[in-house]
Structure 1
Amino acid sequence: MPITTCIFDAYGTLFDVAAAARQAADEPENAALRPHWQALASHWRLKQLQYSWLRAITGAHTDFWQVTGEGLDWALEAVGLAGDAVLRQRLLDLYWQLQAYPEVPAMLRALKGAGLETAILSNGSPDMLDGAVRSAGLGDVLDDVLSVESVGIFKPDRRVYDLVGQRFGCPPEAVLFVSSNGWDAAAAAGYGFRTAWVNRAGEPVDRLPWTPDHILSDLTGIPELAGV
């Protein structure tokens, strides 16, 4: 069956989640962050994901913005900057303006030019995702932005992946699902999507019951995988 619909995770897949810490570290007033920004970005992202999993497992759902703030608080403490309220607010403000990876606009235009449907499926709350899409100028190359908030649980719960078929009326095998999270791509493969893991960091494959169909170093090969 040909691919009709390309679905993308947002954070770390289309949007560079390290961009907020990197940009803040370049600002003169945040000199204290400069030696630590890479560690902070790594801690922040890891805790953001861990807290989403723990909330899904325990049934303690909240929106992704709260999880993002809580992850940042842990990361700031871990690098010795927990008392800097101004820096904390600056990092949170920048998270609403994350940069898209350089290849993203052309890749999405190629998919849309070929008549495929495109959308985001993300843990992000609707207002967060709207801000990121607008900041990156991607609104005209996405058919929809789907948030877990409509089902009240984070990935990789199957109810999140169900949103794609409900929105686009397509069977799972007609979907190419793309994520920078190996666990997300694996779970989506188990759901029945065709999947691509964007493994920018060259990490090992997660030891899970399922594996992604394709592993890429960036998003430039997505149109080819989709049959464009």
Structure 2
Amino acid sequence: MTTPPPVVLFDVNETLSDMRPLASAFEESGMPAAGAPLWFAEVLRDGFALTTTGENPDFVAIARDNLRRHLAAASGARDHAEDVDRILEVFTHFDLHPDVTPGVTALSRTAELVTLSNGSASIAETLLARGGVRELFSQCLSVTDAPLWKPTRDAYAYAAQQTGRPLEELMLVAVHPWDIHGAAAAGLRTAWINRTGAAYPSCFRTPEIEAEHLVALAEILAGARG
């Protein structure tokens, strides 16, 4: 039987935050709405590439560079600083997904809750505070203070060290299969949140739990506890 973990470790961007407003921000800057998820995927790609060479890059610096190139491709080479700043400002005003507040409230009754983001800890702090659930989390962690980005083992080991728990007592919750794979390879338990009904990549390690949202995850773990 599955047992509830002592610590539930959350990814932040997309897992907790609803990033759909980025599409409108892209359109307002003369770019296609469909470019928003592509841009975010490219930020992660470039961060992962730098991580494989032993660097711990700054998320915002990569995001800015990629935005400048997207804007130049859409409307030519000129000063795009204002649009870059406006789009990045959207990151500080995301809302939580509707399932997050009831889901983390239920999960907090049986586990310590912690975030671990490849972005800044302040973004997570602001997101959770605005959603009224910051007090449910003991810590908001960032790979800025870890040796390397997720999905390296070093990033998850940093979270384990900060919580004072062995890796196997942490369960990573994320919407990104690459994050699930990295955490599983590092020895963490994993829960994949699949809000869209997508197929999980067969090349990655399979999550211990798949749930359609955080409320369902809490119910699964509560059932295991019972």
Task: Give the TM-score taking structure 2 as reference length.
Answer: 0.85
Deviations 1:103-144 (A, max 9, x none): 1111111122x2410010111123333333333333112111
1:202 to 1:70, Cα distance in 2 relative to 1, 3 A: farther
- Tell me the amino acid that sits aligned with residue 122 of structure 2: D
- Tell me the amino acid that sits aligned with residue 175 of structure 1: L
Name the residue aligned to 1:89. 85
Listed as ranges, the gaps of 5+ residues in structure 1 are none
- Tell me the amino acid that sits aligned with residue 10 of structure 1: V
**How far did 1:165 drift?**
2.0
The yes-or-no answer on 1:124 pairing with 2:119 is yes
Query: Quick one: distance in 2 between partners of 1:10 and 1:66?
Result: 18
Query: Quick one: distance in 2 between partners of 1:81 and 1:105?
Result: 42
- Tell me the amino acid that sits aligned with residue 183 of structure 1: W
Query: Quick one: distance in 1 between partners of 2:46 and 2:182?
Result: 18
Query: Quick one: distance in 1 between partners of 2:29 and 2:66?
Result: 21
Say if 1:3 and 1:227, in contact at 8 Å, map to a contact too: no
Name the residue aligned to 1:217. 212
The yes-or-no answer on 1:107 pairing with 2:109 is no
RMSD: 2.4
Name the residue aligned to 1:53. 48
1:64 to 1:58, Cα distance in 2 relative to 1, 3 A: same
- Tell me the amino acid that sits aligned with residue 7 of structure 1: L
Query: Quick one: distance in 2 between partners of 1:76 and 1:43?
Result: 13
* Range with greater deviation from structure 2 (78-87 or 8-17): 78-87
1:106 to 1:184, Cα distance in 2 relative to 1, 3 A: same
Name the residue aligned to 1:162. 157
Task: Find 1:11's aligned residue among 1, 13, 22.
Answer: 13
Query: Quick one: distance in 2 between partners of 1:139 and 1:88?
Result: 28
Name the residue aligned to 2:135. 140
Say if 1:6 and 1:226, in contact at 8 Å, map to a contact too: no
Task: Find 2:67's aligned residue among 72, 75, 81.
Answer: 72
Aligned length in residues: 220
Query: Quick one: distance in 2 between partners of 1:121 and 1:205?
Result: 22
Say if 1:17 and 1:45, in contact at 8 Å, map to a contact too: no
Query: Quick one: distance in 2 between partners of 1:73 and 1:203?
Result: 31
Identity of aligned residues (%): 28
Say if 1:107 and 1:219, in contact at 8 Å, map to a contact too: yes
- Tell me the amino acid that sits aligned with residue 164 of structure 2: G
Equivalent position SS for 2:129: helix
Task: Find 1:151's aligned residue among 131, 137, 146.
Answer: 146
Query: Quick one: distance in 2 between partners of 1:206 and 1:79?
Result: 32
Query: Quick one: distance in 2 between partners of 1:2 and 1:115?
Result: 7
Say if 2:153 and 2:185, in contact at 8 Å, map to a contact too: no
Query: Quick one: distance in 2 between partners of 1:193 and 1:127?
Result: 25
Deviations 1:132-173 (A, max 9, x none): 333333311211111111124111111111123212223333
